[in-house]
Structure formats: structure tokens, C-alpha cells
């Protein structure tokens, strides 16, 4: 619905909002990973041209004398223009007392510098599982620190109207900002209005508050002016949040028929100074029906910028190690990789035996077969230089959504419907999906439905756009609101046309009776004049006692230049089960976006930190390499599209995160299929390919020597 608006540049993002008299603000950030402000002089900045207000350490939340990572803020300025604000920052004199930063995750774990208690999990008898195995494989996998790089950086504008605060902000959670900012400021939530009409991406980095928001709110209060604070790209790529790096020492054991007997892992997550411990072991717990599992996850607290949720946090990293290791095990056992995954299919939740609300993973595997059968043909197209192969990897993730979420529907005398809910659109096409749901329920064409979102003062509570939960949380609320309005229409029609209400239904802009008669909807809505039919709906709870997950498999086809280590991904096939698909075009777009973002962490994206100082070296987009359209392979999307009958009234799960989960492992497995090389670290650079190729050659020579000796 809003595609043209976005394409024409008409959609108003937070970055487009310009309010009269608006000041620009900026934060003075520490160049050191760990330091204390010994002395700070704000006078010159305060007296600088165009400067209206200055705050120093301790004056607002998140601006302190002691900084624990590069980019930690110690002062802030509001000025007539951004250039004047930044010039004033230059005038602030700081005497830093530099302190020794803690930068190594293993050292942090050893010294018990942890952000959370280490998470230990065990089921079955792990040692016995190892003992019963015909093959045991072990490996260490690493993943890099990644930046989210939303096109729109973190930003907001604050405007006080008396003791009411209006906040324009690029956020994934309008109601979370409203709640948490009100608490931070000590004012009632209803005094805070949060507006986000369009959003230039978040990927998990825009779930909460930030000190840029605290600064804008405070400076707006002090100056009586509207104040904007927008992070630059450089700031975004230091303090905007990141996917934490990991080191994963993992073990898999299996019997000759492919049955997994043990999965184990020790996961070290380099989280930075703040954040939380993501579920890196989640795939090992949940993906397969392995009886014996033992994992431990550590969250190292370091003098590095805080991590933030990033599109399937934990599962992206944990699936990389698990699915690469399983192919290594399959090779040792001489079992086909797809067969191995089917052999260990979990019919119920492997953690507690709960049934799944629905699980179409076997159907995904079935649909993968014809693609997988092409692998011999693909390999046969190898030549001296370019080796070709195929790999696959499974995916699980959450994405069931849940309450609370509310929606209102307004139907006017012109027969058009308005959906109202104070939801944000992270960029996944929320307006279109909600309109499709409402249009179907009301029997209206899509262009007779408007969707109003993006303003906490103009609609009821709506959930977060995170955890792949927008559609599964909001969709049911919209559907039930539309059903409420539809019921009222039919009630009127029953009286007007003298038919029992239960014989009437809405379809294609008309009211239909089971006796064959029908009337245009306008025959009823036309009676309303200035009246309105108002429907309201709420999201019901998910079923208790059932596990709700999303599932899928991806297959990658690659060509590897064994001389240079260059990899070309020729094709990715993505087969996912997320219950009912509402908007096939939007769903396809999510799959393509997830795979392209995964190509970034598979090959090129890497936040590099100076290992001595802990400062970020890759602050700009020429140093931090995002994939571009030139990197995009052929992408084949296939969605199972069977409604989950237990998921309230819609049967849909989310699709924002699932497609990014298995791509890197599928590609690594294809590289192994093509060349025998076991890549173990992300990103897969040419150096990493060449290292793995040398290692594979050595292994081969060793095998030959042993074989020759035995002969
Ligand atoms: Mo997300 S990473 O749940 O926004």
C-alpha cells in the first residue's frame, strides 16, 4: 500500500521531520574504551555561537564521568544548527584519565567479568551419548561483531507542550518508548506521545531508549524549543548496537545410521559493556531430537560498545556452528546431510516433550529434495579452477507473537474501512499486511481500506516490532476488530433485508445470503450518513502447553576458485514454514532481505576493533562492507503456507528473522561439498578459504600416507 510513497520519497521518516524552531543536538563521546573525566570545561562551548544549552556529566541518564566503551557520552550541546552543535563540542575541553580496558572475551570469562550468570543446560547423559557414538566430531567456530546499519540511524525529536512531551523517534516499539521514557522522566505515561510513521530499519537495534533521547528530552525542556538528536553513521557504527562476536567449541556425536547421540558446546559471547546473553545454544537444544545435550554459554562483559538484539540473536550464531558441525559428522558417518537431519527430526519439543502448535519442517525437507538431488550435477560442472557444490542447513526460531495488541476498525457511509492501531512499521510492510487481513474479513477490496499507524495518541496499544512478532501479534487483533465491524454490518443487514443473521456473509463488497440473494454493501453503509460502525479487537493468548516455532531449510549453490579463494554464491533456495502467509510479495521480500543480510555476515561484514585500545576501526561504510545488489544471487522462495490451527484466529507466524538464520551454514556446507575445505570463521574471507583448503589438503595427504602404510 505504501510502496509508491516510499519509492517516491514521500513517506515521512523521523529523519524527514522538520519542526519550526527546531534545535539540533549532539553528544560528546569518549575516544577511549575506558576512561574517567578528570576535568571538563564547558564554558567555551556554552559561549559558542548558536549554542542554546549544554549539559555535562551526571546531568542526565547515560551521560557520566566514567565511560566504559568508546563512544560513551560525557556531555551534550543544543545549537541552532547541527554544524554549530558539532563545532561547540570541539570547544569542550576534557582531561581524560585513561584506564586499562578489558577487551578479550576469554580473559573476561576467566576473570568472571560477566553480564549475566553463565547459562548451563543439560539433558540426558552426555558422556554416555559420546560413548555410544560411532563418530564424534569437535570443532571451534567463531563469528564476528556486526553492525546493524539501518539506513536510518537512531534519531528523535522532542517537543514539550506544557508538561506533555511529544517524541518523534525511529523505533521498533512506540509503546515501549512511551513507557520507559515516562518512567525515566518520572511523569505519567499519558503525558508522553510517541510518533513513528515510517522507519528506516532497526533489525533489533531500536527496541529501547538511548542517551540521545534523554539528551533531546532534557534540552527541549531547558530551552523550550524542539530539539532533534540524530546519530551520524560513524556514531551508529560504534554505539548503535551490534551482534556480539562468539567463540563456540562444539561437539556432535552420532551412530552409523545417522542418529545423534550427543550435542555439546561451550559458547563465549563478547557482549560489550551492556546487553544480555543471547540464546546461542538454542539451536542445539531445539533443532534435533538428540537425547543427550550439554551446553554452557558465557556472556563476557568488556570495555566495548553494548550489543543489541540483531535479527534472530543467538540463533544466527548457534545455527552456524551446529549446522556446519552436522555436515562434518555426516561426512564421517557416510550419511547424506539431508538424511541426517530427517533422521533426527523432533516430533515434539526436545526440551520438554511439548507438542508443537504446528511444524512443517518435514514438508520443507520434502520440498528440498528435488533441489538437493541436483548436487551431483552441480559438482560435475567443476573445472580445474572453479569447484562447485551444494550445501544445506535447517532453521528454527521463535516468531509466534502474542498478546497484548489492539486494533480499531472504523467503517463509514462510503463503505471504506479505517484500521487504527498505534503500531510502528519496522519496514516489513505492516500497513499492507494489516489491510489484507481486514479487507478479507470485511469482504472489501484492498483499496477500500486505510491503515493508520505510528502515533500513540491516535490508537490503542500495539506490540513491539521485534522477535518476528509484528504480524502474528497484530494480525489477530486487526482480524478480530474487522470481524467485530463485519458482525455489526450483518446485524443491520439482517434487520433491513429480513434474513437471519447467520445466513449472511460479506464478500467482494457485497452482502450475500445463503438463499442466493445479495446486496451491495453500500445498501447498509449508505444508511449511516455521518454515523460510523466501530469495531474493536484484541490479540488473544497463544495456546498453553504448545511450543510455537518457525521452521525452514535453505540450500546454497556455490562456485569456489581454489587458486584465489573467491566464492560465488550462485543460488540460494529458501523453504520456510511460518504458518499462513498473508502477503506473498511481502513474505518474499523478507526472505530476500534476510538472505542478503546473511550474505553480509557470511562474506564481508566485520566490525574490526583495535586489539590494544578497544576502539572501532570500521566506522564508515567504505570500511564496513555491506553487501550490495551486485552480491545478490538467484534466490528461490518457497513457503509452506499452511495455517497454524492453534495460533488464535489467524494461523500466521512471523518471517522477519527466520530467513537470516541458516544461510551462512548452508553456504559453508556448499564450500565443503565443492572443495573439502572446512571453513570455521565468519566472515569467510579468501584467507579463510585458502587456510581451510590447505588444511583439507594436509588431511588428504595424511589419509593417503596412512592408506599407503596399511597397504
Ligand atoms: Mo529483533 S532482533 O527481535 O528486533
Rounded CA gap, 362 and 347, in Å?
10
Whole-angstrom Cα distance, residue 666 to residue 671?
9
Question: Ligand 1 centroid vs 7 CA: distance in angstroms?
Answer: 25
Residue 711, pLDDT > 80, answer no
Mutual orientation of helices 470-497 and 430-442 as an angle, nearest 10°?
A: 30
Q: Which of 657, 658, 659, 661 is the best mutation target for the ligand 1 pocket, counting ligand atoms within 8 Å of the beta carbon and taking the most? A: 657
Q: Whose CA is nearest to atom 4 of ligand 1?
A: 204
State the distance between the two ends of the chain, measured CA to CA, in whole angstroms: 71
**What SS3 state is found at 501?**
helix
Nearest ligand 1 atom to alpha carbon 309: 2
In 126-285, where do the E strands start and end?
135-143, 146-147, 155-161, 164-169, 192-195, 227-230, 242-243, 245-254, 260-272
- Does residue 693 sit in helix, strand or coil? helix
Q: pLDDT confidence of 653, banded at 50, 70, 90? A: very high
State phi, psi for 378 to the nearest 5 degrees: -65, -45
417 Cα: distance to centroid of ligand 1 (angstroms): 31
Where residue 457 falls among pLDDT bands split at 50, 70, 90?
A: very high
Strands of the sheet containing 417-420, edge to edge, are 449-452, 417-420, 406-411, 533-538
Q: How confident is the model at residue 634 (pLDDT cuts 50, 70, 90)?
A: very high
What is the rounded average pLDDT of the residues 546-550? 98
Q: 655 — alpha (psi -120 to 50), left (phi > 0) or beta?
A: alpha
Q: What stretches of 444-549 adopt beta strand conformation (E)?
A: 449-452, 504-507, 510-513, 518-520, 533-538
Q: At 709, is the pLDDT very low, low, confident or very high (cuts 50, 70, 90)?
A: confident
For residue 653, the CA-to-ligand 1 centroid distance in Å is 15
Residues 280-287, mean pLDDT to the nearest whole number:
98
Pocket test for ligand 1, best of 146, 401, 430, 467 (most atoms within 8 A of CB): 467
Ligand 1 atom nearest to 202, measured from its CA: 4
Closest CA to 674 of 484, 390, 466: 390
The span from the CA of 643 to the CA of 596, in Å, is 27
- Which of 201, 206, 207, 400 has most ligand 1 atoms within 8 Å of CB, for mutation? 207
Phi-psi region of 508 (alpha: psi -120 to 50; beta: other; left: phi over 0): left
Q: How many Å apart are CA 425 and CA 452, to the nearest integer?
A: 11
- pLDDT tens string 82-102: 999 999 999 999 999 999 999
711 compared with 582, residue with greater pLDDT: 582
* 22 alpha carbon – ligand 1 mean position (Å): 31
Residue 71 near residue 231 (C-beta atoms within 8 A): no
The continuous run of DSSP H or E covering 184 comes out as helix 174-185
Three-state SS for 311? coil
DSSP 8-state symbol, 543: P
* Residue 125, SS3 per DSSP: coil
pLDDT at residue 436, as a whole number: 98
CA of 438 to the centre of ligand 1 (A): 26
Q: Which residues contact 582 (CB under 8 A, 6 or more apart)?
A: 433, 436, 437, 471, 475, 650, 652
Distance 156 CA to ligand 1 centre (A): 20
Pocket test for ligand 1, best of 201, 240, 309 (most atoms within 8 A of CB): 309
Percent pLDDT > 90 in the chain is 99
Average pLDDT over residues 50-67: 96
Residues lining ligand 1, CB < 6 A? Answer: 172, 204, 207, 309-311, 313, 466-467
Q: How far is the CA of 312 from the centre of ligand 1 (A)?
A: 6
pLDDT band at 520 (very low <50, low <70, confident <90, very high): very high
Is it the case that residue 398 has pLDDT exceeding 70? yes
Ligand 1 atom nearest to CA at 206: 4
How many whole angstroms from 207 Cα to the centroid of ligand 1? 8
* Mean pLDDT taken over the chain: 97
> Residue 206 C-alpha to ligand 1 middle, in angstroms?
9
How many CB atoms are located within 10 Å of the residue 38 CB? 11
Instruction: Specify the pLDDT at position 665.
Output: 99
Nearest atom of ligand 1 to the alpha carbon of 469: 3
Rounded-to-integer distance, Cα 206 and Cα 309, Å: 9
Cis previous bond, 404, omega within 30 = yes
Q: How confident is the model at residue 710 (pLDDT cuts 50, 70, 90)?
A: confident
d(CA 353, CA 663): 28
Residues contacting residue 140 through CB under 8 Å, at least 6 positions apart: 247, 248, 249, 250, 680
**Quick check: helix, strand or coil at residue 609?**
strand
Q: What atom of ligand 1 comes closest to residue 467's alpha carbon?
A: 3
Which atom of ligand 1 lies at the shortest distance from residue 426's CA? 4
Given the CA of residue 465, which atom of ligand 1 is nearest to it? Answer: 4
282, 311, 430: residue to mutate for ligand 1 pocket, most atoms within 8 A of CB: 311
| Span from the CA of 618 to the centroid of ligand 1 (angstroms) | 23
Percent of the chain beyond pLDDT 70?
A: 100
Q: How far does residue 172's CA lie from ligand 1's centre (Å)?
A: 9
- What secondary structure letter does DSSP report for 386? E
Three-state DSSP string of 357-374: CCCCHHHHHHHHHHHHCC
For ligand 1, the distance from its centroid to the CA atom of residue 203, given in whole angstroms, is 6
The DSSP code sequence of 426-471 is -SS-HHHHHHHHHHHHHT--GGGEEEE-SBGGGS-----S-TT-HH
Query: Considering only CA atoms, which of 469, 485, 471, 472 is closest in space to residue 537?
Result: 485
Nearest ligand 1 atom to the CA of 311 is: 2
Residue 247 in this model has a pLDDT that exceeds 90: yes
Amino acid at each position: 500500500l505504501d510502496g509508491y510513497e516510499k519509492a517516491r520519497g514521500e513517506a515521512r521518516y523521523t529523519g524527514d521531520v522538520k519542526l519550526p524552531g527546531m534545535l539540533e543536538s549532539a553528544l560528546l563521546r569518549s575516544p577511549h574504551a575506558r576512561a574517567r573525566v578528570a576535568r571538563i570545561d564547558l564554558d567555551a562551548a556554552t559561549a559558542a555561537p548558536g549554542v542554546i544549552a549544554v549539559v555535562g556529566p551526571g546531568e542526565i541518564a547515560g551521560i557520566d564521568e566514567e565511560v566504559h566503551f568508546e563512544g560513551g557520552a560525557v556531555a551534550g550541546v543544543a545549537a541552532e544548527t547541527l554544524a554549530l552543535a558539532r563545532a561547540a563540542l570541539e570547544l569542550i575541553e576534557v582531561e581524560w584519565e585513561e584506564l586499562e580496558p578489558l577487551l578479550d572475551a576469554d580473559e573476561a570469562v576467566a576473570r568472571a567479568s560477566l553480564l549475566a550468570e553463565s547459562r548451563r543446560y543439560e539433558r540426558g547423559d552426555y558422556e554416555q551419548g559420546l560413548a555410544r557414538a560411532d563418530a564424534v566430531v569437535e570443532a571451534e567456530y567463531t563469528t564476528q561483531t556486526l553492525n546493524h546499519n539501518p539506513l536510518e540511524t537512531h534519531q528523535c525529536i522532542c517537543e514539550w507542550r506544557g508538561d506533555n512531551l511529544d517524541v518523534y523517534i525511529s523505533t521498533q516499539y512506540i509503546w515501549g518508548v512511551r513507557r520507559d521514557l515516562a518512567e525515566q522522566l518520572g511523569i505519567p505515561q499519558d503525558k508522553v506521545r510517541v510518533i513513528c510513521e515510517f522507519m528506516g530499519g532497526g533489525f533489533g537495534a531500536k527496541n529501547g531508549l538511548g542517551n540521545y533521547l534523554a539528551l533531546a528530552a532534557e534540552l527541549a525542556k531547558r530551552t523550550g524549543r524542539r530539539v532533534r538528536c540524530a546519530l551520524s553513521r560513524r556514531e551508529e557504527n560504534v554505539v548503535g548496537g551490534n551482534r556480539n562476536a562468539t567463540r563456540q567449541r562444539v561437539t556432535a556425536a552420532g551412530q552409523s545410521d545417522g542418529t545423534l547421540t550427543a550435542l555439546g558446546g561451550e559458547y563465549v559471547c563478547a557482549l560489550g559493556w551492556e546487553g544480555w546473553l543471547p540464546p546461542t545454544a538454542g539451536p542445539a537444544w531445539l533443532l534435533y531430537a538428540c537425547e543427550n545435550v550439554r551446553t554452557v554459554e558465557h556472556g563476557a562483559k568488556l570495555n566495548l560498545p553494548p550489543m543489541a538484539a540483531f535479527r534472530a540473536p543467538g540463533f544466527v550464531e548457534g545455527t552456524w556452528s551446529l549446522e556446519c558441525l552436522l555436515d562434518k559428522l555426516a561426512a564421517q558417518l557416510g550419511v547424506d546431510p539431508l538424511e541426517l537431519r530427517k533422521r533426527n527430526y523432533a516430533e515434539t519439543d526436545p526440551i520438554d516433550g511439548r507438542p508443537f502448535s504446528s511444524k512443517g519442517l518435514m514438508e520443507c525437507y520434502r520440498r528440498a529434495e528435488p533441489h538437493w538431488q541436483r548436487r551431483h550435477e552441480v559438482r560435475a560442472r567443476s573445472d580445474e579452477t572453479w569447484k562447485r557444490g551444494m550445501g544445506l542447513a535447517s532453521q528454527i526460531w521463535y516468531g509466534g507473537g502474542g498478546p497484548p495488541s489492539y486494533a480499531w476498525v472504523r467503517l463509514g457511509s462510503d463503505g471504506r474501512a479505517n484500521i487504527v492501531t498505534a503500531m510502528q512499521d519496522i519496514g516489513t510492510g505492516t500497513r499492507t499486511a494489516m489491510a489484507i487481513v481486514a479487507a478479507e474479513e470485511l469482504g472489501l477490496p484492498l483499496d477500500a481500506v486505510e491503515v493508520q499507524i505510528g502515533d500513540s495518541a491516535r490508537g490503542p496499544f500495539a506490540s513491539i516490532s521485534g522477535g518476528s512478532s509484528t504480524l502474528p501479534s497484530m494480525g489477530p487483533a486487526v482480524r478480530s476488530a474487522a470481524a467485530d465491524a463485519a458482525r455489526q454490518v450483518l446485524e443491520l443487514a439482517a434487520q433491513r433485508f429480513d434474513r437471519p443473521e447467520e445466513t449472511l456473509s460479506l464478500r467482494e463488497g457485497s452482502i450475500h445470503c445463503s438463499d442466493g440473494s445479495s446486496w451491495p454493501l453500500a445498501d447498509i453503509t449508505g444508511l449511516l450518513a455521518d454515523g460510523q460502525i466501530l469495531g474493536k479487537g484484541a490479540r488473544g493468548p497463544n495456546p498453553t502447553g504448545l511450543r510455537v516455532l518457525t521452521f525452514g531449510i535453505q540450500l546454497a549453490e556455490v562456485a569456489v576458485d581454489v587458486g584465489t579463494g573467491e566464492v560465488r554464491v550462485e543460488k540460494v533456495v529458501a523453504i520456510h514454514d511460518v504458518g499462513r502467509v498473508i502477503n506473498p510479495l511481502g513474505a518474499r521480500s523478507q526472505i530476500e532481505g534476510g538472505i542478503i543480510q546473511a550474505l553480509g555476515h557470511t562474506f564481508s561484514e566485520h566490525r574490526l576493533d583495535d586489539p590494544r585500545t578497544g576502539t572501532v576501526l570500521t566506522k564508515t561504510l567504505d570500511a564496513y562492507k555491506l553487501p550490495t545488489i551486485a552480491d545478490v544471487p538467484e534466490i528461490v522462495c518457497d513457503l509452506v503456507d499452511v495455517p497454524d490451527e492453534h495460533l488464535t484466529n489467524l494461523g500466521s507466524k512471523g518471517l522477519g528473522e527466520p530467513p537470516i538464520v541458516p544461510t551462512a551454514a548452508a553456504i559453508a556446507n556448499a564450500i565443503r561439498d565443492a572443495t573439502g575445505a572446512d571453513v570455521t570463521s565468519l566472515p569467510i574471507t579468501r584467507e579463510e578459504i585458502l587456510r581451510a583448503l590447505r588444511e583439507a589438503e594436509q588431511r588428504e595427504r595424511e589419509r593417503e600416507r596412512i592408506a599407503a602404510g596399511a597397504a
